[in-house]
């Protein structure tokens, strides 16, 4: 059973999100295949999800991901044995010095947008996470990403908010409160990370 089918079986309430999840995977797969990276932002629990996703992509998730032979030869066996294949991803919710300086000196609601402007390139993707779909700092980041010709993905709640219209692709999970929505975000991004790992690592 592939990861998407497994997700649908374990969380039947996500069946209505299947098309959006598939489209999201395709956007991410194309970006990584073309040498792009993933930028991720969100507030509160969604900031923690941003860090979590980076952890699944930048090292082995369900697989060991040994580095290729040419890298092993360059760095040596001992070092290579402790490296793992990575899909490049950056959580914009980290970087405390940058974030607090920008928040204090410039504009609190532009801290994600500034990082997208600095890090983002045409082949990259922004994953914007907000349970309401209306977080101003997240929406600013989406606008800057699109101005830089990046693809944008929303991960939000049932109504989608402004993010549903702003993002190129949007996964709107069901849920009647923030906690319920966040509980469904996790299996969605776990499935996406597993699908990407299956694609890029033997």
Dihedral sign computed on CA atoms, order 69, 71, 73, 78: negative
pLDDT of residue 137: 97
- CA-to-CA dists, residue 80 to 36, 54, 65, 75, angstroms: 23, 21, 11, 6
Helices vs strands, H then E, count in the chain: 10, 5
Between CA 147 and CA 122 the distance in angstroms is 10
Number of domains in the chain: 1
The reported pTM is: 0.96
Between CA 124 and CA 83 the distance in angstroms is 24
- Mean pLDDT, contiguous 10-residue spans, the chain (202 residues): 93 98 98 98 98 98 94 95 97 94 94 97 97 98 98 98 98 97 98 97 88
pLDDT of residue 1: 61
DSSP letters along 78-127, please? HHHTT------EEETT--HHHHHHHHHHT-GGGHHHHHHHHH--TT-EEE
The domain containing residue 170 runs over which residues? 2-200
Kindly report the CATH number assigned to the domain that includes residue 79: 3.40.50.10490
């Amino acid at each position: 059973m592939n990861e998407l089918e497994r997700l649908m079986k374990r969380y039947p309430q996500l069946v209505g999100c299947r098309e959006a999840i598939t489209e999201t995977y395709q956007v991410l797969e194309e970006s990584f295949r073309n040498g792009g990276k993933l930028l991720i932002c969100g507030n509160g629990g969604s900031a923690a999800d941003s860090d979590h996703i980076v952890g699944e992509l930048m090292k082995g998730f369900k697989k060991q991901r040994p580095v290729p032979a040419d890298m092993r030869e360059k760095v040596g066996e001992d070092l290579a044995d402790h490296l793992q294949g990575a899909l490049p991803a950056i959580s914009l919710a980290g970087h405390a010095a940058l974030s607090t300086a920008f928040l204090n000196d410039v504009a609190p609601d532009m801290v994600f947008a500034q990082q997208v402007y600095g890090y983002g390139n045409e082949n990259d993707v922004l994953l914007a996470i907000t349970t309401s779909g209306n977080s101003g700092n997240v929406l600013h980041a989406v606008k800057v990403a699109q101005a830089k010709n990046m693809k944008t993905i929303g991960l939000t709640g049932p109504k989608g908010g402004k993010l549903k219209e702003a993002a190129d692709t949007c996964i709107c999970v069901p849920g009647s409160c923030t906690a319920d929505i966040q509980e469904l975000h996790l299996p969605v991004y776990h499935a996406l990370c597993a699908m990407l790992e299956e694609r890029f690592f033997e």
